């Protein structure tokens, strides 16, 4: 079954074709990063308009790269939420209209569930049960998964998401938007031991996160140390990154212990971070846990994870009604 996936929840317009929920035949991502960069963050109205321009060409490109025609598509899976409503509506209405016109089954899927499913798109997928950390620009949460669709929320951020903290610290250091990859590059030239930020554990047994205090600590350091950005930006980046990674890894491994689960996964945009990937692999190995982290192309927003996750619903005959609507916040 060839499923066309469409994703437009934030600032990436993406389309993909995935065969039988596993084989990625094409995955196209049109990023709006340059559009939003002058504003230091995503401007929702600009994002929606850009999705409108990009959605049809991106779908065409995905079909072309897959070497398929629309007639070869057997179902459509599209992100329904959470995300920016104006952005979601573009992909969602496009998918609905396409499915209606072609008489195809279609399903609206949860963006977070799709991110979590990306852990199953590795060479030797973990299957279930699985404890997974989703760390992105909008969310940071740990789940216990017993199937693609059954997720128990074990803990989540009480304030900023990890990626959001990365983006805000990057702004303080004058690195522009989005900041994750820029901080990682700068941190590689710094010394993580020189400026040690307090690790925001809340209490060590809690599986919740809080990154806003860490962000404020970086801000205070910059305010109280003259020329800190000019003189020690790399050390600040390294110190910040080490604090984030240590807490994310600790909580994920603690969750695996609580659930007595032998395998863990790391997904979402922040999972692209090399230091975090290496740190998790080392720490998990020391505890005898197996680790699953998707390739970089499946960490950030993409439609391959949307198509692959939606395949399971479509295959089981679960489709969405034509009057289904998008949702902006997590359905909890």
Please name every residue paired with 2 in a beta bridge, in sequence order, or none if there are none: 19
The residue among 160 and 301 lying less far from Zn ion, judged by its C-beta, is 301
Q: Is residue 300 near ligand KG4 by the rule CB under 6 A?
A: yes
Residue 8 interacts with Zn ion (CB under 5 A): yes or no: no
294 sits near ligand KG4 (criterion: CB under 6 A): no
The single residue among 82, 138, 148, 155 that binds ligand KG4, judged by CB under 6 A, is 138
Report how many residues bind ligand KG4 under the rule CB under 6 A.
Answer: 20
DSSP letters for 233-285: HHHHHHHHHHHHHHHHHHHHHHHHHHTT-SEEEEESGGGG-HHHHHHHHHHHH
Q: Does 273 bind ligand KG4 (CB under 6 A)?
A: yes
Q: Are the C-beta atoms of residues 108 and 179 closer than 8 Å to each other?
A: no
Helix, strand counts (H, E) of the chain: 10, 10
Residue 136 CB, nearest approach to Zn ion (Å): 5
Closest listed residue to residue 320, CA positions, set 116, 100, 147: 100
Residues 121-140 that bind Zn ion (CB under 5 A): 136
- Per CB under 6 A, does 184 bind ligand KG4? yes
- In the complex, the smallest distance separating the C-beta of residue 298 from Zn ion, rounded to whole angstroms, is 11
Smallest distance from the beta carbon of 112 to Zn ion, in angstroms? 8
Per partner kind, with CB cut-offs from 5 to 8 A, the member of Zn ion, ligand KG4, none near residue 108 is none
- Is the Cβ of residue 36 or residue 254 nearer to ligand KG4 in the bound state? 36
Q: Which residues contact 197 (CB under 8 A, 6 or more apart)?
A: 214, 217, 218, 221, 239, 240, 243
Cα of first residue to Cα of last residue in the chain, in angstroms, is 30
CB of 209 to Zn ion, least distance (A): 17
CB of 57 to ligand KG4, least distance (A): 21
Q: Which stretch binds ligand KG4 (CB under 6 A): 59-67, 86-94, 162-170, 232-240?
A: 162-170
Which of 301, 304, 305, 326 touches ligand KG4 by CB under 6 A? 301
Displacement of CA 307 from its chain's centroid (Å): 15
Question: Measured between alpha carbons, how far is 188 from 66 in angstroms, rounded to an integer?
Answer: 37
56: phi then psi, degrees, rounded to nearest 5: -65, -50
Among 160, 167, 184, 301, binds Zn ion (CB under 5 A): 301
Could you give the 3-state DSSP secondary structure of residue 309?
helix
Among 86, 91, 178, 200, binds ligand KG4 (CB under 6 A): 178
Query: How many C-alpha atoms does 221 have within 13 Å on its Cβ side?
Result: 25
Name the residues that contact ligand KG4, by CB under 6 A: 10, 136-138, 163-164, 166-167, 178-181, 184, 268-270, 272-273, 300-301
Judged by the rule CB under 5 A, the positions of this chain that interact with Zn ion are: 136, 301
């Amino acid at each position: 079954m060839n499923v066309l996936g469409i994703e437009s929840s934030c600032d990436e317009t993406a389309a993909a074709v995935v065969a039988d929920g596993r084989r990625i035949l094409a995955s196209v991502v049109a990023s709006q990063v340059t559009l939003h960069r002058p504003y230091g963050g995503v401007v929702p109205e600009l994002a929606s308009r850009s999705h409108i321009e990009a959605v049809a060409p991106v779908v065409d490109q995905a079909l072309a790269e897959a070497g398929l025609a629309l007639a070869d598509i057997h179902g459509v899976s599209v992100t329904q939420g959470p995300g920016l409503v104006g952005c979601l509506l573009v992909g969602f209405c496009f998918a609905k209209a396409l499915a209606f016109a072609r008489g195809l089954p279609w399903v609206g899927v949860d963006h977070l569930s799709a991110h979590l499913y990306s852990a199953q798109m590795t060479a030797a997928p973990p299957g279930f049960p699985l404890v997974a950390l989703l760390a992105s620009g909008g969310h940071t949460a740990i789940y216990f998964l017993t199937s693609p669709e059954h997720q128990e929320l074990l803990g989540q951020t009480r304030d900023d998401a990890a990626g959001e903290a990365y983006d805000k610290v990057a702004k303080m250091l004058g690195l522009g938007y989005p900041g994750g990859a820029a901080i990682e590059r700068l941190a590689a030239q710094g010394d993580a031991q020189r400026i040690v930020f307090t690790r925001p554990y809340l209490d060590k047994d809690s599986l919740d996160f809080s990154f806003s205090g860490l962000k404020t600590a970086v801000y205070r350091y910059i305010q109280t140390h003259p020329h800190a950005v000019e003189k020690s930006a790399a050390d600040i980046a390294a110190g910040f990154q080490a604090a984030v990674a240590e807490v994310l890894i600790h909580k994920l491994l603690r969750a695996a212990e609580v659930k007595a689960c032998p395998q863990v996964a790391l997904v979402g945009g922040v999972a692209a971070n090399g230091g975090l990937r290496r740190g998790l692999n080392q720490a998990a190995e020391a505890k005898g846990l197996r680790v699953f982290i998707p390739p970089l192309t499946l960490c950030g927003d993409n439609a391959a994870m949307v198509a692959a996750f939606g395949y399971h619903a479509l295959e089981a005959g679960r489709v969405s009604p034509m009057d289904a609507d998008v949702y902006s916040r997590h359905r909890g």
